[in-house]
Structures are given as C-alpha cells and as structure tokens.
Structure 1
C-alpha cells in the first residue's frame, strides 16, 4: 500500500510559502509557510500533520488491540503533541506526547494499560518516529 502527498514551495524559507495536497483530497492546496510553522498564521505545518498522523494511528492500533482482546471501546480520544526543538544548525522532532481518554466497558485498568502500551509501541507512526514517545491515559 502506498499513500501520496505533494508539496509545492515558492520563495525563500522565511518569506516563501507553499501548499500541500493529498491524493485523497483531504488536503487540497492547503497553505503552509514559516509563519504557519513557527508562528500562528492560519494553515498547517509538518509537525501538526505528524501529530494528527500519530494520534490517528495510535488510536486505530488501540482499537485493534482491544478488539483482539474481546473489548469494544465506546470512545477513544487521543491528542498528540509533537515537539520541534532546535538541534545544532537545524531542528528535530524530539517528542510525541500522546494523551488518551478512553471509555471501554468491562476492561480493568491493568489490561487496558497493557493493550495501550502495545499500541503505543507498535503503531506504524510510532515505529517511524525517531523521537521520545510518551503515553498517558484516563480510563472512564
């Protein structure tokens, strides 16, 4: 399986701008720039997209872990916070912090944590990130 996205950039790093488009069309000429990355201008940035990918991947992986163990979640809500830090002359994504709120009928905390930790370690986005990954959860 392959998925594609395209980036087009015009101008310098600081003053230029670009747009991102995905084959699915969910991103369609979505703007990004220095200001959307390092300031708060409207648009997206690579770290936001990685955070969305990590939250989505982890949450789906957990749903599969729970299903395999015979549990059906009522809701799994995950926030991922990706940290971009200065490293030498450039920057590095140093951390992705996952915060999960879960409602899963009939599961105890120990079993849930076991399955959530497995999802944290084994989702494909976790495997590709060269960063510290943390996961905290609240089980209702």
Structure 2
C-alpha cells in the first residue's frame, strides 16, 4: 500500500474573535495570516472553511482529470468552485455542506461520459471522502 504525508502548521495567539495567527506549509504556498471563521476577508489571509473549500476544489479537479483520462479523454481546462457552508449548531460551528460547481472543456467528450466521470470523481475525491458533509454538485461541459 502506497502512502504519503503532508502537513501544515498554525500558530494562533489570543481568542477566536480577537486573536490572530499564521498558517505555514513546507512548500511555502500557504504562508499567510489566519483569521477566525467569521473574519472580514478585506483584511487578507484565510480561514479554515476557505482552506477546506480550496482543498476540495483542488482534489476534485485532479480526480476529474484522472477519471476523464481513464475514459480516454484529455481535458483542456477544468474550473471548479467549492462553496463550503458552515452552520452554528448545538455542538458548535459545523461544516454541513459543500457545493461543487464545475465546468470543463473536454474535446470530443460525450455528455454521458462527462457526467459519469464527474460522478466518479466526486465519489473518489480523497478530500471529499474525508469530510462528513453533504456534497452536492453541478457539472457542465463547456462547448469546444
């Protein structure tokens, strides 16, 4: 069985509402301020739900490219937006839903093959599988 590990580190100072922090990754692709989940995005930086959305969108796009490749297609472009919904529940703030909106340009793809690949990608996306949230999707094949 193959495996690999990746990590990120965070230093947080203060309370969630008034604190501040920084997130770092070994690749330095995420070296930025970290804010509470209800932060004002005009301050720059990011927050955990936004990072989850980015991880899901990235992982799903790679999964879709893989599924299309296995079906014999070569996607030109895949644009995925993941919208994460966070709700305040009895247990606290909870990620309850993720919506994927994907549009792909795939030469000569049959609509049914594209839909099958998108559904397989959604089911096989490793980040999505790790989350306990309802994930909905709207997948469109862009005209060539």
Same fold (TM over 0.5): yes
- Any idea what SS the aligned residue of 1:113 has? helix
- Residue 139 of structure 1 aligns with which residue? 141
Please list every run of 5 or more consecutive structure 2 residues that lacks an aligned counterpart in the other structure.
none
- The 3-state SS of whatever aligns with 1:80 is strand
For the aligned residue pairs, the C-alpha RMSD in angstroms reads: 1.0
Runs of at least 4 residues off by over 6 Å:
none
C-alpha displacement at 1:106, in angstroms?
1.1
Among 94, 99, 124, the alignment partner of 2:126 is 124
- Cα distance, 1:59 vs. partner? 0.5
Which residue among 62, 65, 74 is the counterpart of 1:63? 65
Which residue does 1:2 correspond to in 2? 5
Give the counterpart of 2:115 among 113, 116, 136: 113
| 1:48 aligned to which of 35, 50, 69 | 50
Q: Cα offset for 1:39?
A: 3.1
Q: 1:93 is paired with a residue of what secondary structure? A: strand
For residue 11 of structure 1, the aligned residue among 10, 14, 23 is 14
